[in-house]
Amino acid sequence: MKKFFSMMIAAVLCLSVAMAVVGCSEDKSASKTPTSVGAVYEIKKGDDNTEYAVLKQYTISDEAAAKVAKNNYQDLMVDLVGENKINVYVDGDKTYPVKEIAASAFANQLVIRSIEFGENVTTFGAACLSGCVNLEKLTVPFVGKSVDAVNDGKVLGYLFGTASVDGATSVTMSYNASGSKSFSIPDSLKEVTVTGTVLSEYAFYGLSLSKVNVENVQSIPNYAFYGMNEIVSYKIPAGVTSIGDYAFASCANLTKIDFTAAAALTTIGDHAFDGCSMLGYGKNNPVVFPASLTSLGEKAFYKCTELVAVDFSASGVTTINEYTFYGCAKLATATLKDGTEVKTGAFEGCDLLNAE
């Protein structure tokens, strides 16, 4: 039987923290607690008969939002259980894991600038964050509807929906080789953190995010960061074992890819950095491959026109595949291990190359 619960957010604590950051206001009304802030939950039972919570709706009234805005608070934490993340729901002496976020649950909540969903969440409803056009930082356990979602359900845009909203830009995200969809992504959103171990293909395809944290993922899959032009530098996390096909392709402003922590990386896929035209730009900015790397795909660095130097001396790579560095016009140094096989066109168009 479905049972609905509602509760008030601990807004006093949140607003007190915000006041400590931004300073005191002479407006005495600033100390008043907005009362129209709350979340509605539904309790369900899983296949194993264990109860869990579904966050159905979160609201901040216009009056409460106006008070926050008037006093220049930079953030209003979504504090449901005394924690600064949505993970469990406490009702009296019972605690329920929050496993589902309903469709449109946070729709048009303009005050929210930062929100974190905990590891208990297994399903996000479509457009659950639609219209949250002041959201700057988002933390999720995975990207999309669920870890095993398909088609448009596996990209970040799924959380924001397709409806046109002031303060959001329509971005067309591919989700497989033949499918794409346009989503309204908040212009304010600049940082996303994924806390889980699984990242979906096409997860951030074409998005204007300047910071993406995926420290725990085991693989950066196909097209995951494709066309992300706001990323300038990226450090591959220690646990990543593979970088998929086209994973960073067409990241036009990516100047540095850092493999120093990538001790588990064995494979870089085909076209992985294809068209990263600024990669290697600047003095003393070579691409140095890790000792764990054994396989480098075809056209992996195709037309990386600013790339000056690559170093395979510490790696396990023994073959440079077809057209891997094709058109890297400024590539002057390629340090290879003795006996490395160089296949057809691997360095074609690298007129400055002095292979060592």
pLDDT score, position 354? 55
Quickly state the pLDDT bin for 14 (edges 50, 70, 90).
Answer: very low
121-170 residue pLDDT tens: 999 999 999 999 989 999 999 999 999 999 999 999 999 999 999 999 99
Quickly state the pLDDT bin for 6 (edges 50, 70, 90).
Answer: very low
Contact 129, 149 (CB under 8 A): no
Contact 127, 163 (CB under 8 A): yes
Q: Which residues contact 90 (CB under 8 A, 6 or more apart)?
A: 81, 96
Domains of the chain: 218-356 (3.80.10.10)
Q: Check whether 336 has a pLDDT greater than 80.
A: yes
Q: Which residues contact 2 (CB under 8 A, 6 or more apart)?
A: 42, 43, 44
- pTM assigned to the model: 0.85
Instruction: Compute φ and ψ for 63, nearest 5 degrees.
Output: -65, -45
Tokens of 284: 């003393």
Instruction: Compute φ and ψ for 267, nearest 5 degrees.
Output: -135, 135
68: DSSP letter: H
